[in-house]
Chains A and B, each alone.
Chain A
Amino acid sequence: MTDTTLDMSLKGTMTKPKERSEFAHTIDGTVGKPFLDGKDTKFHCRGVNVFYNGTKQAIFDTSVDIGKNEVIAMIGPSGCGKSTFLRCLNRMNDTIDGCLVTGTINLDGEDIHAKAQDPVLLRARVGMVFQKPNPFPKSIYDNVAYGPRLHGLAANRAELDEIVESSLRKAGLFNEVKDRLQAPGTGLSGGQQQRLCIARTIAVSPEVILMDEPTSALDPIATATIEELIDELRQSFTICIVTHSMQQAARISQRTAYFHLGYLVEVNDTKTVFTNPQHQLTENYITGRFG
């Protein structure tokens, strides 16, 4: 009873109300447009499964393409595997004991699980920003210079200064911290810390930036700043962002992927996902009627 009334009220906001029967109801393959048919593909994932401790499967047979210079948002309820999938893309799951990833993930046509592939170099190409700001207990300058120093990106101090400054500028933080680059990074506010972490990631010039709920620990103003930043960063990087906020996904992403209990249920242009979902589960989730 309540189901139908709720349906009516929420569907009023949609462009094209659908009948229940028009939705896909079962999960057998991903609906929508998960593949880009080879044009400008950055990540090419086919049949990805993730197991924890050999028994618990966290991701089931996930296949999706991620395009160059796009922002793809991954949404879904807690525990649906979106963060786990994100961590597959730069092999961060390797650092977790008992975690096994199967299937194919290609980055620019190279298999990231190939023997010749060094996960350390991969992570320099695919940077990551975490849910909670995690600046190192070092100065702001050293935080940003950390990656370039590791990878020997700067030949001398002047070049390093330049990398640090441009990274901080791209992260929209330079003007706020230019007078105190030697102050500890942990002394910044939460939003500034997260932008510092983004600057740190940018400093190694990755091709892809993975963001795992980067604004969930931040207030709305800091969130807005980071969202603007993500939109600017799209010019130079591919960005995969996991978020719990559907508004955020709608604001910043070009494509949206909906995960449910380890299955990739639906991938499509963000606009389509939010206005005309193909799957009943997606529609339930985006209308806040999950369950």
Chain B
Amino acid sequence: MSTLGILLTLTVLAAFSYYIGRKRSLALATPVKRGGNNLHSLPSYYGYLVMIWVLIPALLVFALWSALEKPLLTSTMISHLPAEIQNKSPDEISLTTNRVLSLAADDAARTSAEPVMQAAAEDYRQMQQTSSMIKTLLVLALAIAGGFIGWRYIKPETRARNQVERVVQFIMITCASIAILTTVGIVFSVLFESIRFFGHVNIFDFLFGTHWSPQTALRADQAGSSGAFGAIPLFVGTLLISFIALLIAVPLGLMSAIYLSEYASTTMRAYAKPAMEILAGIPTVVYGFFAALTVAPFIRDLGSMVGLSVASESALAAGIVMGVMIIPFMSSLSDDVINAVPQSMRDGSYGLGATKSETIKQVLLPAALPGIVGAFLLAASRAIGETMIVVMAAGLMANLTVNPLDAVTTITVQIVTLLKGDQEFDSAKTLAAFALGLSLFIVTLILNVVALHIVRKYREQYD
């Protein structure tokens, strides 16, 4: 039976088991007219309990079997191959295996293959069919047996609710672990690739080198065979652009947050706040071409008018547009924290004869400060991790400069350029992307942890 068929059958069995479990609990319970209900849990919990007995063992075996089927069958198939093939090098065996597997799946190609291969493919197909049949039978048998055990297990005093809740809790833990394990997996893969990179390039050359030119030769005799992997220009470029962005976003965002939370009428706020949040919904690539096609030429023309030479792809243009992009992060979060300051604080201040601006400066902002700092750090980590705008507007030149009118490049942009197109996975050039990714990850992680910590501390204040 196909996978879909098995799953459908299991679904039907599960529904049926719920029904009989519920029925049986009701049948076993003392009727209300003779002394009342003596069931420990509600009848539906007995239904769920039987359903769990049907589903969990069957699904576990199904998943395990599906995962292990292919490697086991392949190794059996290889052991059935003639000795002369088995004695070949591992690379050649793997080639042969791939060929057999593709032949097994393709009837037309099989007839034209050499007899040894044909036999192996036929052998594999046979084993596959047997395995599939055993799997179907085993899973269905387990489901039915589980249902029977569950059914027998039901007694009025069975603590069905507690058991069902424990299973559900376990399922939820599993779901949470999947997200966490994925993160851990990504971190480790980046970490290990970075360690490989630091095998090619000294970690101190990477962290403190001032020259970035990640070309490596494909062959040893090519020119420019050793690239330079000093990441300082990238770090400086990233910081420069983020700094410009925050310089734009923090005052604008904070001021609009204060306006929205303290001065705007309810109607104004109802329209202005969503309108500002639309900014956060614009795809960054749109910001990117806005920066590259509108803002950058405008700044260059403005510069030439006052006699400054501005690169047509300048850090300033990218920073300004990125700043506009992160305004909503700043304003929306700050607005929320300012609003979260209890009304009694405002009343207390007004009651002492403070004006609105005094109240905002002396009471609201200090009270909301931790939250505002949290908003700032989240905006900062967003700015540091932003890619698209910088790719399009700031260029690829790894200049070590703090002049905002020059072209600079950032960590994220370099990761994009290193990994686009064809690449070999053992060259320092490709691995450099992982090292850059790791350093970016560490920086944003620190910012996020600090931000969360500050926000949490803020929450405790009015409890």
Contacts and interface: CB of A to CB of B under 8 A. Distances in A.
Given A121-B353, A134-B342, A200-B352, A95 B363 contact: no
Nearest to B266: A97
Nearest to B342: A134
A63 to B, nearest CB: 25
B351 A120 contact: no
Contact of A130 (B344, B358, B362): B344
B192 interface: no
Contacts of A95: 346-347, 350
Contacts of A92: 347, 350-351
Contacts of B134: none
Given A92-B347, A197-B348, A137 B366 contact: yes
Interface centre among A135, A146, A151 (most CB of B within 10 A): A146
Interface in B337-369: 342, 344-355, 358, 362-363, 366-367
Interface string A128-167: 1110101111100000001100110000000000000000
Nearest to A209: B351
Interface residues of A, number: 29
Contacts of A204: 352-353
Indicate the member of B266, B351, B362 with the most A CB atoms within 10 Å: B351
Contacts of B358: 150
B347 A150 contact: no
A129 B363 CA distance: 17
A120 B355 contact: yes
B461 A186 contact: yes
Contacts of B461: 137, 186
A151 B353 CA distance: 8
Interface string B243-281: 000000000000000000000011000000000000000
B351 A201 contact: yes
A95 B359 CA distance: 12
A81 interface: no
A201 B347 contact: no
Nearest to B463: A186
Size bracket, chain B contacts = 20 to 34
Chain A: interface secondary structure?
helix
A277 interface: no
A113 interface: no
A127 interface: yes
Contacts of B344: 130, 132, 134
Interface string A111-124: 00000000011111
A137 B367 contact: yes
Given A97-B266, A134-B342, A137-B461, A90 B351 contact: yes
Contact of A147 (B342, B346, B347, B353): B353
Contacts of B355: 120
A204 B346 CA distance: 17
Nearest to B353: A124
B353 A136 contact: no
A150 B265 CA distance: 26
A120 B355 CA distance: 6
A216 B350 CA distance: 22
A147 B351 CA distance: 10
A150 B350 CA distance: 11
In this complex, which of B344, B353, B362 has the most chain A Cβ atoms within 10 angstroms of its Cβ? B353
The 4 closest A-B pairs by CB, nearest first: A124-B353, A128-B351, A134-B344, A123-B353
18 contacts: A97-B266, A120-B355, A122-B353, A124-B352, A124-B353, A125-B353, A129-B351, A130-B348, A135-B348, A136-B349, A137-B367, A146-B349, A146-B362, A150-B352, A150-B353, A151-B353, A200-B348, A204-B353
Given A135-B348, A136-B348, A150-B354, 13 more contacts: A90-B351, A95-B346, A123-B353, A124-B352, A124-B353, A127-B351, A127-B352, A129-B351, A136-B363, A137-B345, A150-B353, A150-B358, A186-B461
